[in-house]
A and B are shown apart, each in its own frame.
Chain A
């Protein structure tokens, strides 16, 4: 069964027509309102343009509209009768790799825009690579501006082959290609008569039907504890103790045996409490409160997991880091690592290599990572973190690093 909400990210070069595509999706699914569209038209005319510049609908900040660029990740919403869509729109500029990392972290699918005139550029590959690194396994390659190459099938096929090869090399990902013109509207939400050689689904149909859920759905049960619920004693609740959280993966039934980590204590689930009544079973993404058979010393940051498929508790591990700060990575410097609902002291004690995202080449030895660098490092933590490899579970395998100024300086993905 496919999810009712699809979170996807869009990536492409500066002039690949990303804003135009998003603008069109919003307008044609009525995710944008008449006054907003009218505002974008007036603003464009004031600057001497003609008609609607869809990008004016999506670029939110003054500096962006003035400079005609997108600075920050923007979130957009639209819905069809089949699904609700959340777009995390990442800017295409070279210096904003961190925005793509951010937007991809919560996305299940990436729409990669390619200008049919230019074909696959270095940046296009880099975007796909980063999206894949962040765990995206579904790619839609939208070969845009087909109107500017006379809707030629040869051109489309050439780019398609090139890109599918690249995605296949990344491993474990599915991809589908579609020729569109975001400006003219071919195959976005409307059919097109200008490319009779393309008989596949329209972009909106792909978005509506893709199934992205299986991994977390069928994974082992993971439940990071956010808070312990201990309401004041009352006649109805003389001694209630529950554990609040959101199921990160898998599912749990009343009566199931579980292990609480990092302590390793074993117990049984006695109840799944919600204000809408007790549940027999809770599934991935559900926010619930669990009660357990034994009185254990459990607090925020602990994790309740499947007894038969427990995660690992580790104090030393390798991770891929995306360095986001202007301040460089300092080896052996004390940072704070935020992972699930836990914050712990950590140091990075070695850099294995830095990745050249253009050539996918591993560079070593390296002594530092700076803004927008991606590399594999070794990390030591003061207390154990209870985790899975990122490839298996994005919720229990991803973490962020804060420095002493509370800035988020890096995003990390735990390696097996």
Chain B
């Protein structure tokens, strides 16, 4: 074995193998591009996997209308720079009807703006495989997820119908109407992601870096205080040094107090992190769990 082989090289090599299997086994795959750090790593791996050829699939971004402006700016610049084909899909009806987590509740809001939008995009473009950046370590129902995860013709996940995955034999065999979600980063942890971003010097959205930002403390979560937050009575925004560990929709993504302004400092913060990254995402809280959302077709 080569001397400079590390656990990051091992993960990288495995993910490249998985990405190539998707392209070999599916007619019309798509990469679900969420603009976050995991997407950045996924894209980096895809470029390595198909070098010296071009990326063999387009990117799909499901835009809820509540994404941070910095994310959209990064999306435009980055996809242009690497010459990726970008499809942006929005549930325009729900957005026009004013869907908001405080109005609909988090579960219904996510259901309309993310799950329904994703399923209709997959249907519209007839994608038979959707590559995502979810990791098993993120959340306990994801710990049982397959690398090739079968969805029925309604895009739904049935944990009891998943196929056994042996060795590195990923079966992409599907029937008309069914589709596959594929997770090449299954075996990566948040710490691996940051260590790899540092090692490969991968570009990420500036929101991951600490900066003085206006936030409001809502039930212990630091929510960005911009015009989407809908301040409740008694809530007073304050300026704090914070950064984002995960990036979702503005009303539902909490920041963490931090002064890490370089990739190295962020990676160092991970080593001593005591709280899981999903704790900053309102979607994972409450009675409607990640498992329920996955069953309905959520990522």
Contacts and interface: CB of A to CB of B under 8 A. Distances in A.
A237 interface: yes
B191 to A, nearest CB: 7
A306 interface: no
A38 to B, nearest CB: 9
Contacts of B265: none
Interface string B271-286: 0011110010000000
B13 A273 contact: no
A74 B144 contact: yes
Nearest to A217: B1
26 contacts: A1-B3, A3-B1, A35-B276, A36-B276, A58-B140, A60-B144, A74-B143, A75-B143, A79-B7, A84-B192, A98-B164, A102-B166, A106-B166, A227-B20, A244-B49, A245-B20, A246-B13, A275-B47, A284-B1, A285-B1, A285-B14, A286-B9, A287-B17, A341-B24, A395-B168, A402-B171
B163 A34 contact: no
Contact of B144 (A61, A229, A406, A411): A61
B217 interface: no
B167 A395 contact: yes
A191 interface: no
B88 interface: no
Interface of B: 1-3, 5-7, 9-14, 16-17, 20-21, 23-24, 47-54, 136-137, 140-144, 159-160, 162-169, 171, 173-175, 186-187, 189, 191-192, 273-276, 279, 289, 291
B140 A400 contact: no
Given A275-B51, A300-B24, A3 B10 contact: yes
Contacts of B52: 229, 231, 237, 240, 242, 273, 275
Nearest to A412: B166
Interface in A82-121: 83-84, 86, 98-99, 101-102, 105-106
Contact of A394 (B136, B167, B186): B167
Given A75-B186, A283-B1, A406-B175, A398 B167 contact: yes
A175 interface: no
A407 interface: yes
A399 interface: yes
Contact of A406 (B11, B47, B171): B171
Contacts of A376: none
A256 to B, nearest CB: 16
B166 A4 contact: no
A398 B143 contact: no
Contacts of B275: 33-35
B164 A101 contact: yes
Contact of A283 (B5, B163, B173, B291): B5
Contacts of B171: 338, 400, 402, 406, 408
A226 B289 CA distance: 37
A351 interface: no
Interface in A333-371: 336, 338-339, 341
A79 to B, nearest CB: 7
A341 B186 CA distance: 20
A4 B141 contact: no
B291 A62 contact: yes
